[in-house]
Amino acid sequence: MGLLDGKKGIVFGIANDRSIAWGIAEKLFAEGAEMGFTHLPDKDPNRPKNENKVRKLVDPRGAKFVVPCDVTKDEDLDAVFKTVADEFGKIDFVVHSVAYAPPEDLTGPVHDVSRAGFALSMDISVYSLIAMAGRARELLNPGGSMLCLTYFGGERVIPGYNLMGICKAALESTVTYLASEMGKGGVRVNTISAGPIRTISSSGVGEFQSMLKLYESFAPLRNNVTPQDVGNTALYLLSDLGSAVSGENIHVDSGYHIMGAPPLDLQDKIQF
């Protein structure tokens, strides 16, 4: 018996096999979940690169559907949740692993962020969760769960994370308000704050290599996390094991977030 036998849901945000969303999906598949997936729309329908990347991963595991979705388009979200209703009727979880900022706005200082870049970043990284929640609300069973991904840069200043840190702060606040509203229907809403992981999204973050080295040295567990580590916690939050957890932000970062100064053994190696 798997923890998610008989549970159904949808996962937004798999780009390839290094995606955090794929690390989560692997764990959910292993515990018996039935799932549908979205992919970024392909510019050329005759060369469906994005769709093929997702299908290569999920079709062998028995994905119920794979559909395109641009989260900035209401018509795309409407179509996705119609497919969810047609295929599943009711569902038990939604995984939101979606974030974006234009490279020119992400890599520069916050005071230089463009109005258009800020609006687009918030639309994709934050409003998309609200848009999904509004559509999923009537489809989620009591005891259901919504889960999204954040990072410590939404709580503290992380040099190089810049605009995305502002988006993650907004996302974390949004989760608490959604948790309050959706709790009346027995639905939980939570976030996982994952340590830095090599993904397509992280490649655009300034000083990312330094982040990885810092975590290896600074975090109590002295290592970086993997998508599979995040998947383990996602499984807990999406299963009945997390039945009384809502509005929570669980850090999966080897303990990095608790540190206020370098560990003593590292201080010996730093020249002040």
For residue 84, tell me if it sits in a domain: yes
What is the structure's pLDDT at 201? 58
- Average pLDDT over the chain reads 93
- Is the pLDDT at 205 greater than 70? The verdict is no
pLDDT tens digit sequence for 244-272: 999 999 999 999 999 988 887 776 665 54
Arithmetic mean of pLDDT, 18-45: 96
Which one-letter DSSP state was computed for residue 41? P
- Confirm whether 151 is a catalytic residue: yes
Say how many C-beta atoms besides its own lie within 10 A of residue 243's C-beta.
Answer: 12
Question: Residue 70: what residue type?
Answer: D
Q: State the catalytic residue, choosing from 151, 177, 236, 256.
A: 151
Residue 39: domain span: 8-255
The count of structural domains within the chain is 1
Dist. CA 179–CA 76, nearest whole Å: 24
Residue 2 lies in a domain: no
Which run of H or E residues covers position 194? strand 188-194
161 is catalytic: yes
pLDDT tens string 177-199: 999 999 999 999 999 999 988 76
DSSP secondary structure letters along 126-192: IIHHHHHHHHHTTTEEEEEEEEEEE-GGGTS--TTTHHHHHHHHHHHHHHHHHHHHHGGGT-EEEEE
Q: How far apart are CA 231 and CA 21, in angstroms?
A: 8
User: Among residues 178, 151, 179, 186, which one has the least CA distance to residue 246?
Assistant: 179
Q: Specify the pLDDT at position 45.
A: 82
Residue 29 is assigned to a structural domain of this protein: yes
* Within a domain: 272: no
220: CATH: 3.40.50.720
pLDDT number for residue 269: 65
Residues 6+ apart with CB under 8 A from 140: 90, 91, 92, 93, 94, 146, 182, 185, 187
The pair phi, psi for residue 49, each rounded to 5°, is: -60, -50
Q: Is 204 a residue whose pLDDT tops 60?
A: no
> What integer is the mean pLDDT of 51-74?
98
The pLDDT score that the predictor gives to residue 267 is: 66
User: Exposed, middle or buried by CB within 10 Å (0-12, 13-18, 19+), for 195?
Assistant: buried
Q: Report pLDDT for 268.
A: 66
Residue-wise pLDDT for 101-158, tens only, equals 999 999 999 999 999 999 999 999 999 999 999 999 999 999 999 999 999 999 999 8
Q: Are 93 and 133 in contact (CB under 8 A)?
A: no
Confidence at residue 110, expressed as pLDDT on a 0 to 100 scale: 97
Structure token pair of residue 65: 């559907």
Q: What residues have CB less than 8 Å from 256, skipping those under 6 apart?
A: 152, 195, 215, 218, 219, 220
Which is the catalytic residue, given 100, 127, 161, 215? 161
pLDDT at 12: 98
Residue 223 within any structural domain of the chain: yes
Tokens of residue 1, six digits = 């018996």
